[in-house]
Amino acid sequence: MVPNTLALVSSTKGCALLRDVQPEDILGRKPVGHHRGVDLTPVIGKVTLVTGAAGSIGSELVRQLRAYQPARLILLDNNESGLHDLVTELGDEACSNTVSVLADITREEALSQVFAWYRPQVIFHAAAYKHVPMLERYPHEAVRVNIYGTWLLAGLAQAHGAERFVLISTDKAVEPSCIMGASKRLCELSMFALARQNGCETRFTSVRFGNVFGSRGSVVPTFNRQIEQGGPVTVTHREMTRFFMTTSEAVNLVIHAACLTAGGDLFMLKMGEDIRIVDLAERMIRMRGLRPYKDIEIRFTGIRPGEKLHERLENASEVATQTTHPNIVRLDDPGDAFDPTAFADRVTRLIASCNPRCAVCQADGARLPPAVADAAPHDDARSPCLGCLTSLAETLAPNDPVHQILWAQATGARSDVS
């Protein structure tokens, strides 16, 4: 239906769109589809576990994996409402081979039961805390969920003979300037270390990519809401850029990467050119028939703690090798400073000493220093002790940005890493 002409002329919020906004309207390219050159047999007919199943990436993984005829599809999340909504969306036809599990990835007993009961063969690990400003205030939660949760899940996958374990990573893991990125980089290194353990039969791999449209906290739904309300549209910095991809194409490529891995791989998804956030905001305003800065104000709010102006998809030391899929490359780091065995041993010792005090090692000991505690108020019983953060920092070379950030948290003073 064509919008009311009088309302269109008098409105400052723009007219209703004559069609839905398509990804290519914003991306400037067609979304990536399936590629016949990749053998998808490794994920067909498997018992498959998706963690973070109620999230943006996790729920799309669930939707797409159903087409691969899983023997059983296990949906794990600690978000009760989100998990319920996903199960409701899937409908009655999914009941025969779909299992929903309400559990936290840091609860070893609950995870152990899942692995013992269902014996998942393929794991897609999408569960993580991801919002940069929030984790700058609560770094202990990034350590607890992103690092400890990943290590626990990966260890159970290996112990129960899982075939493949796919970590969903992020471009913020590249030369990280934030706690979230540092925690995800340590997760990538964990995959690298585990894959190189003697006798490891599980193919551990990481898939790294940038922002996806439509995810919680994504700028696109935020901008849509702000335009609907008549503005202002808020952008942190005029020159800020990000890489973007649709959720469906990112997940499609993640599944392809899972089939390509030989173990110990770090894959990167090709995401095209980066997009200036202010250009995206202006384009979305114009698509409503409105004028940026006149009908809808664009307000620049300043870069938030831990954010970068520009993200990168690969480190300077990483060498990209093309795979059989044109939109997936394998990243090889020729550096030999990282010792996978020493890293695995240190993280194993870190997690082995458990007591309910510290959220990570759970041992009694010194808490976070006042400078950090004051900036990030939290329940002391759930904060990591100094030994946890220090031990994690010591797994890396002193000039590594991840080392610098974790060390700064342990000493109560953030390094200026850009």
Cα–chain center distance at 289: 34
Catalytic one of 30, 46, 130, 172: 172
Residue 172 a catalytic site member = yes
Strand partners, 213: 246
The vertex-312 CA angle with 308 and 316, nearest 5°, equals 120
What sign for the dihedral angle of Cα 336, 340, 345, 346? positive
Q: Which residues are catalytic?
A: 172
